[in-house]
Amino acid sequence: MLTTRPRGTADILPGQTENWQYIENVAARVCREYGYREIRTPIFEHTELFIRGVGESTDIVEKEMYTFRDRGERSITLRPEGTASVVRAYLEDKLHAGPQPVKTYYIGPMFRYDRPQAGRLRQFHQFGIEVFGAQQPAADAEVMALAMDFYGRLGLDDLELHINSLGCPECRAVVREKLQQYFQPVLNELCTNCQDRFTRNPLRILDCKASHCAELAREAPTTADCLCPDCRAHFEKVRQHMQDLGIPYILDKRLVRGLDYYTHTAFEIMAPGIGAQSSIGGGGRYNGLVEACGGPPTPGIGFALGLERILLALEQRGKLPDIKVGPVVFLAAMGDRAIREGFSLLARLRAAGIAADMDYQGRSLKAQMKYAGKMGVRYAVIIGENELQKGSVVLRDMIAGSQREISKDEAIRALHS
């Protein structure tokens, strides 16, 4: 146990963290350009928030939450997603009292107790955005455009954007009734999960992965068929904006999403070829959520994209950049005096912004040079007996294999340029 991490978690090691930083930097840059500012909320919240926010009948709340009692006997849950927390912060920190819309983004770990497999972890990471107070269809288009722009900048240009409209609560009531009428005659042919969904949330039957349910649902009515005139007009305008922006999408009337809070536009982005877990991101509008959490009626919309799945897609397509990190210069010195001189020079190099390192194992000069080669440094600065006498150093170009003896100041200047 001591040397085994919990199932469904991962260590992100040096050599991998650089890829994460790369993705996070692209996300931050895109967000800045679109006017989104970072928000950081706690990793745990009161359980009640997710029950109310994500929805009681969702898989997340029913089966996947990491919930525990803290020492004060409060029920606490590790966040399974970011939207509910950002809504809570929007209300608690009175962001609704400032200028609207409020446009936020976040990057961080989420927790869901699910069966781990490729692309599915129990601790995973999302990059998400949430917008409050923007009811116009252009906001829906902006949110999807930002997601696709972000993927595009990473070089993921073969993704599929699926979109649908789930309508308002009134449309939802209509489709719910139609679905119950449609499925009633075949109710006992549905899987037990869907039989349960039949009363609680029949829309989710459209999303069932069981082949017989999918078969039965093929001709079922969809939300898109039951939209009221306002919802239909909203969705039409969203689609027009997407066309104007030249962003291709697939109209997917079966798309329902696994969280309860969605209204109007819902979308999911698929990455072909990354395995069973091909949903690389998803989101949509949630116009009733702020109110459901005790706030004023406020339109909301956002998305979350799974970073592990993005990495899988990048890896699979050979799109991960070759990021070179680590020291550029290795300072090789031997003997107490040379080491003292070398250590001071190391500090000067670093102060000049040059990534530099030296030996801390008491290796011989020869072994130090061998180690420098293994580390892949571009230059070595060597202080041997001879250089110590003259107050000079040897600057060696590790690739060219050439070297020259120069003063310390000259070495700093040369390495700085």
Residue nearest ligand HAM by beta-carbon distance: 306
Q: Is 299 in the site for ligand HAM (CB under 6 A)?
A: no
Measured in Å, how far apart are the chain's first and last C-alpha atoms?
50
Least distance from ligand HAM to the Cβ atom of residue 198, Å: 23
Nearer to ligand HAM, 105 or 183 (CB): 105
Q: Which stretch binds ligand HAM (CB under 6 A): 114-122, 219-227, 245-253, 336-344?
A: 114-122
Whole-number Å distance between alpha carbons of 262 and 299: 11
Binding map of ligand HAM across residues 308-347, x = CB under 6 A, - = no contact:
xx--------------------------------------
For ligand HAM, the closer of residues 9 and 407 by Cβ is 9
What is the nearest approach in angstroms of ligand HAM to the Cβ of residue 60?
A: 7
Cβ–Cβ < 8 Å for 363, 382: no
Of the candidate residues 53, 55, 82, 288, the single one contacting ligand HAM (CB under 6 A): 82
Sign of the CA dihedral with 256 first, then 259, 261, and 266 last:
negative
Which residues in 260-388 belong to E strands, given as ranges?
Answer: 263-270, 279-285, 300-306, 329-333, 356-358, 379-383
CB 226 within 8 A of CB 164: no
Mapped onto helix, strand or coil, the DSSP state of residue 374 is helix
Strands (E) across 199-242 are located at none
Whichever of 111 and 330 has its CB closer to ligand HAM, that residue is 111
Specify the residue for token string 């927390």.
Answer: 85
Spatial distance between the Cα atoms of 363 and 371, rounded to a whole number of angstroms: 9
Q: For residue 49, how many other CB atoms are within 10 A of its CB?
A: 16
Which one among 302, 313, 345, 354 touches ligand HAM, defined by CB under 6 A?
302
Segment lying near ligand HAM (by CB under 6 A), choices 12-20, 88-96, 303-311, 355-363: 303-311
Torsional sign, CA 118, 123, 128, 133: positive
Nearer to ligand HAM among residue 55 and residue 82 (C-beta): 82
Contact status: 288 vs ligand HAM (CB under 6 A): no
Spatial distance between the Cα atoms of 208 and 406, rounded to a whole number of angstroms: 72
The answer to the question of residue 282 lying near ligand HAM (CB under 6 A) is yes
C-alpha 259/C-alpha 81 separation (Å) is 10
Kindly state the number of chain residues that form the binding site for ligand HAM, as judged by CB under 6 A: 28
Cβ-based nearer residue to ligand HAM, 259 or 290: 259
The piece of 18-26, 245-253, 304-312, 327-335 that touches ligand HAM (CB under 6 A) is 304-312
Q: Which amino acid is at 120?
A: R
Binding mask 245-274 for ligand HAM (x = CB under 6 A): -------------xx---------------
Nearer to ligand HAM, 120 or 200 (CB): 120
Tokens of 221: 């009515």
- Contacts with ligand HAM, residue ranges (CB under 6 A): 81-83, 112, 114, 119-121, 124, 126, 128, 130, 258-259, 279-284, 286, 302-306, 308-309
